[in-house]
Amino acid sequence: MTTVETTHHQMRIGGRDVDTAGKISIIDPSDGSVVATVPDGDASHVDDAVAAAKAAYESGVWSAKTPHERAAIMRAIVGAAREAADELIELEQAANGATIRQATGFHIGYALAHFEYFAGLAETYEWERAAPVSDFPALSQSVVHREPIGVVGAISPFNFPLLLTLWKVGPALAAGNSVVVKPDERTPLSMLAFARIAERNGLPPGVLNVVTGPGRVAGARLAEHPHVGKIGFTGSTSVGREIMRLASGTVKQVTLELGGKGPSIVLDDADLDMAVDGVLFGCFVYSGQICVSGTRALVPRRLHDEFVRRLVERAKTIVLGNTRDFDTDMGPVIDGKQQARILDHIRRAEVDGATVELGGSRPGGEQFERGFWVSPTILSGVTNDMPIAREEVFGPVLVVIAYDDDDEAVAIANDSDYGLAASIWSTDNGRALAIADRIQSGSVWINDAHQINCQVPFGGYKQSGIGRELGPDALDGYTEAKTVQVDLSTGLKAKPFGILLGHAE
């Protein structure tokens, strides 16, 4: 396995390495050490990147290629990235604290598989569609073209730096756009490496640009930039609102994948052993730092105490430790600010009447004295009106809420500002499917969690976002629809304007 040294990684703009006098330190969350530095980019660097992307787009070096040509280059990039997988895995987990198992399977494995899926979409997408011949108000034939937008901005979060960036970059490139990426300033390393891999394997300079820098500066400029026609953003709902506000100045398209407060609904006929493991997986994978995490366990009142007991006993077996060790189940949270925020949420919940059944603090032991660790935490005695049940904690905190019947479970699940993902645990698929139909959520998983399938749309209801990523229609959000109509009528008298101007017989 490659080891990350404390090295400096420059931005990539217009096919060139770009640096700044100021530096941003990249911190390993597992021990608080500085593993790298990157440039402290600002609005001027975003302007340069947008100009490079615009020039590349207008030159046709990428936008004028056929979909099959773009797909071939994208597949070559995937092949080269797979050869560099060890490097990408280490760059990813060194910056965001993912365990080696998670980084290998989810963070990098999913990212490259999904990018390859978008390459395939370039070849199968319906770039032109003929409409039925119309005979009113005149005989005509229309063809709908899907064309690239131009320059696309992608703003991505810390938790899945490469995967969630490629959810935007992949369809944007497949459609023929040029892209400017603003990764989270804490976790830009894997995307910087991917951009260089892409250029070495056929992507023309300027088509993919990466600007590092703080979101409030570089991200804000990208969102408001007049030459950016689309913003794809994944992150918190509060920042998503600001992205919408900034994008509205030029009425650009936005796709927003925002927060969640996922319910895991355990029905009274569930296989409890499966449900316990599934609920814990749904909440604690990657330390709860996933927007689709199932952080609210809704449990029948008569099963509540038994289920909590089982959750606690099973959660005690979760192994925290060295993120490079394949035996480690859970790593740290992203930084000290988030660690303090999570622990404050737990303290507030106790004041509100919740009971800490497990965890609730930094884990004990010398190895956890450095870095940003929070123990797997389970809270009982929670009601859905408490802040701990309504606000996105983004940490390893599971709340257990009792309900009396299916109708109440559905009501609690839907009583949220969010609607991103939910899970249902039952041995009766028909019953579970009927409840799924009533859940206000973009994804509902039955007897599973975190099943992100690139072949189906992903996104949320309510304040969990706008638009959808993934699926066969993923390129829709990165193209414009143009209708071209050919009038098939003959003679001036047969045309609507001829009738209007008095040429009709």
What's the pLDDT tens digit per position in 366-411? 999 999 999 999 999 999 999 999 999 999 999 999 999 999 999 9
**Count of domains for the chain:** 2
Is 497 a member of any domain? no
**Secondary structure (3-state) at 465:** strand
**Secondary structure (3-state) at 274:** helix
Q: Is the pLDDT of residue 324 over 70?
A: yes
Q: Is the pLDDT of residue 69 over 50?
A: yes
CATH number of 180's domain:
3.40.605.10
Is 349 a member of any domain? yes
Q: What is the pLDDT of residue 1?
A: 43
Q: What angle do CA 292, 284, 357 make, to 5 degrees?
A: 120
Same domain, 337 and 211: no
Q: Is the pLDDT of residue 263 over 60?
A: yes
Q: What are phi and psi of 259, to 5 degrees?
A: -80, 175
**Secondary structure (3-state) at 298:** strand
pTM summary value: 0.95
Residues designated catalytic: 257, 291
Q: What is the pLDDT of residue 2?
A: 46
Same domain, 393 and 370: yes
Same domain, 470 and 428: no
**Secondary structure (3-state) at 412:** helix
Same domain, 135 and 194: yes
Q: What is the pLDDT of residue 361?
A: 97
Long-range CB contacts (within 8 A, 24+) of 483-486? 483/131, 483/142, 483/143, 483/144, 483/145, 484/142, 484/143, 484/144, 484/145, 485/140, 485/141, 485/142, 485/143, 486/140, 486/141, 486/142, 486/143
Q: State mean pLDDT over 77-100.
A: 97
- Which of the two residues, 99 and 140, has the higher pLDDT score? 99
What's the pLDDT tens digit per position in 110-134? 999 999 999 999 999 999 999 999 8
Same domain, 300 and 186: no
Q: Is the pLDDT of residue 33 over 80?
A: yes
Q: Is the pLDDT of residue 501 over 90?
A: no
Q: State mean pLDDT over 441-470.
A: 97
DSSP E strand boundaries for 79-201: 128-130, 140-148, 151-155, 178-182
CATH number of 317's domain:
3.40.309.10
d(CA 239, CA 229): 19
What's the pLDDT tens digit per position in 486-495? 988 776 666 6
Is 411 a member of any domain? yes
Same domain, 272 and 227: no
Is 455 a member of any domain? no
Same domain, 187 and 314: no
Same domain, 157 and 284: no
Q: Is the pLDDT of residue 84 over 90?
A: yes
Is 488 a member of any domain? no
Q: What strands lie across the sheet with 11-13, from one edge to the other?
A: 16-18, 11-13, 208-210, 178-182, 151-155, 230-234, 253-257, 465-466
Same domain, 214 and 298: no
In the numeric block, the tokens 């021990």 are attached to 31
Q: State mean pLDDT over 187-206.
A: 98
CA–chain centroid gap for 153, Å, is 14
Q: What is the pLDDT of residue 499?
A: 58
Taking a C-beta distance cutoff of 8 angstroms, is the pair 131, 142 a contact?
yes
Same domain, 247 and 111: yes
**Radius of gyration from C-alpha coordinates of the chain:** 25
Q: Is the pLDDT of residue 211 over 50?
A: yes
Is 412 a member of any domain? yes
Same domain, 321 and 352: yes
Structure tokens at 273: 């052993």
Is 286 a member of any domain? yes
Q: State mean pLDDT over 287-311.
A: 98
d(CA 412, CA 421): 14
Q: Is the pLDDT of residue 174 over 90?
A: yes
Task: State which residues form the domain around 203.
Answer: 7-258+464-483
Q: Is the peptide bond before 137 cis (omega within 30 degrees of 0)?
A: yes
| SS3 annotation, 355-398 | EEEECCCCCCCHHHCCCCCCCCEEEECCCCCCHHHHCCCCCCEE
Q: State mean pLDDT over 136-165.
A: 95
Q: Is the pLDDT of residue 271 over 70?
A: yes
Q: What is the pLDDT of residue 139?
A: 87
Q: What strands lie across the sheet with 443-446, from one edge to the other?
A: 355-358, 377-380, 397-403, 296-300, 263-266, 421-425, 443-446
In this structure, is the dihedral angle defined by the CA atoms of residues 34, 39, 43 and 49, taken in order, positive or negative? negative
Is 505 a member of any domain? no
Q: What is the pLDDT of residue 497?
A: 63
Same domain, 366 and 432: yes
Give the mean pLDDT of the chain: 95
d(CA 332, CA 101): 14
